[in-house]
Amino acid sequence: MAADLQKVLLDAWANGLPFRHFPTLDNSADGVGALDVYLEDQTVVVEVNAPGITQEQVEVELNKDTSLLIAANLPARDEKASYLRRERPEGRFERRLTLPFPVDGEKVQASLAAGVLTIRLPRLASSLPRRIPVGQTAQS
């Protein structure tokens, strides 16, 4: 929220001055919380941008085997420091995903590397499609 307010103020500031150009900061492209979701056979793989976030700051929660919550409290800024630029987001982000099938909470793996959170969610065995053998009626 602080970042949004700051953006509004910065934009207002920029528009009030003769130089109207601002670098294009693409929120979605590499923003904190931007995510990719893949399906690898019977495993959902989620990759989330989480730069500057430590393991302690990130929360991954699975609800009813199909609802995934990813949240993180972004590191607080030093309010006493003097900033020439302050564009990186602050506060908290939350993303909720509905998974394509129920997953096994016991087998979910989450890891953080180079500012990217990777979560692997294998499908719940009981929800795997089951093959029904088709019997043949014996003909006499």
Partner 1 sequence: MFPETLERGLIPRLPAHSKRVPRADIVDGPNELTLHLDVPGFQESEIEISVDKRVLVVSARPGPVAESPAERKVLLRERARAPLERAFKLLDEVDAEGISASLALGVLTVRLPKRPEPGVRKIPVGLIG
What phi, psi does 126 have (nearest 5°)?
A: -70, -15
Q: Indicate the residue type of 82.
A: S
26 contributes a contact to partner 1 by CB under 8 A: yes
102 contributes a contact to partner 1 by CB under 8 A: no
Residue indicated by tokens 């043949």: 136
Burial 101-124 (b: 16+ CB within 10 A, else e): ebbbeeebebebeeeebebbbbbb
16 contributes a contact to partner 1 by CB under 8 A: no
In the complex, minimum distance from the CB of residue 36 to partner 1, in angstroms, rounded to a whole number: 5
Give dist(CA 105, CA 89) in Å, integer.
30
In the complex, minimum distance from the CB of residue 10 to partner 1, in angstroms, rounded to a whole number: 9
96 contributes a contact to partner 1 by CB under 8 A: no
115 contributes a contact to partner 1 by CB under 8 A: yes
87 contributes a contact to partner 1 by CB under 8 A: yes
84 contributes a contact to partner 1 by CB under 8 A: yes
Question: 97, 98, 101, 99: which is closest to 127 by C-alpha?
Answer: 101
Give dist(CA 26, CA 31) in Å, integer.
7
Part in contact with partner 1 (CB under 8 A); list of ranges 22-30, 65-73, 103-111, 122-130: 22-30
100 contributes a contact to partner 1 by CB under 8 A: yes
Binding site for partner 1 (CB under 8 A): 14, 17, 19, 21-26, 28-32, 34-41, 44-45, 47, 49-54, 77-78, 81-89, 100, 112, 114-116
